Chains A and B, each alone.
Chain A
Amino acid sequence: GQQLNQSPQSMFIQEGEDVSMNCTSSSIFNTWLWYKQDPGEGPVLLIALYKAGELTSNGRLTAQFGITRKDSFLNISASIPSDVGIYFCAGRARGGATNKLIFGTGTLLAVQP
């Protein structure tokens, strides 16, 4: 199935550092969602974006819906050990079936205390 390009593939950082990751698509998206998945668990929704240029925060997390509507960014400030996990972007293309999301390839985040 179709996937989004997500980068970086993995990140190994020190506690307290800021983190940035992004997703890009070849097509225009109407919705961007960011999820975090812990090992052996299902993804948990972090942030949802619905408008181009929209900037939304959830605690130390901030995500943006790119102006071109073909990309999205997630930033984590002052990382802590519990931020460890895999982060997935997901999007719904314009004209796409309702609720049918396309997922990114994931970013594995490791935080060293």
Chain B
Amino acid sequence: GAVVSQHPSWVICKSGTSVKIECRSLDFQATTMFWYRQFPKQSLMLMATSNEGSKATYEQGVEKDKFLINHASLTLSTLTVTSAHPEDSSFYICSAPGTGGEKLFFGSGTQLSVL
């Protein structure tokens, strides 16, 4: 299957700082990537769809100014949590569709803890 690399695996930051999370497709190109958020013992909730070369599409209720997404190349999408607060603490996971677009492959996730 396709490999999606996500970095960092975990990050601890102070309230008010910004945190950038990277998602890379290692052996394939991805014009679209997806960013999910997952709270403990809950399912994955889609936050936004990252589109290479154009603006991201955000799900209802997700603040685009809070969660900045950049998809500057066919293999890299970044999610920046701006002015992070404790309520932003969560597990963030990116994904990308493999060849053919039917299967979705996930990164290993980033655990964000905001103090």
Chain A residues in the interface with B (C-beta under 8 A): 1, 3, 31, 33, 35, 40-45, 48, 50, 88, 90, 98-101, 103-106, 108
Q: Find out whether the CB atom of B104 lies under 8 angstroms from the CB atom of A45.
A: yes
Q: Which among B43-51, B64-72, B73-81, B82-90 touches the partner chain?
A: B43-51
Contact string, B1-45, partner A, CB cutoff 8 A, digits 1/0?
100101001000000000000000000000010100000011111
Q: Find out whether the CB atom of A99 lies under 8 angstroms from the CB atom of B97.
A: yes
In the complex, how many residues of chain B place their beta carbon closer than 8 angstroms to a beta carbon of chain A? 29
Q: Find out whether the CB atom of A99 lies under 8 angstroms from the CB atom of B93.
A: no
A3–B46 alpha-carbon span in the complex (Å):
11
Q: Find out whether the CB atom of B43 lies under 8 angstroms from the CB atom of A50.
A: no
Q: Find out whether the CB atom of A99 lies under 8 angstroms from the CB atom of B32.
A: yes
Instruction: For A48, give the chain B residue with the smallest CB separation.
Output: B103
Q: With A41-B108, A42-B108 as given contacts, are A3 and B43 in contact (CB-CB < 8 Å)?
A: yes
Contact of A33 among B45, B59, B60, B104 (CB under 8 A): B104
CB distance from B75 to the nearest CB of A (A): 17
* Max count, chain A CB within 10 A of own CB: residue among B1, B45, B59, B102: B102
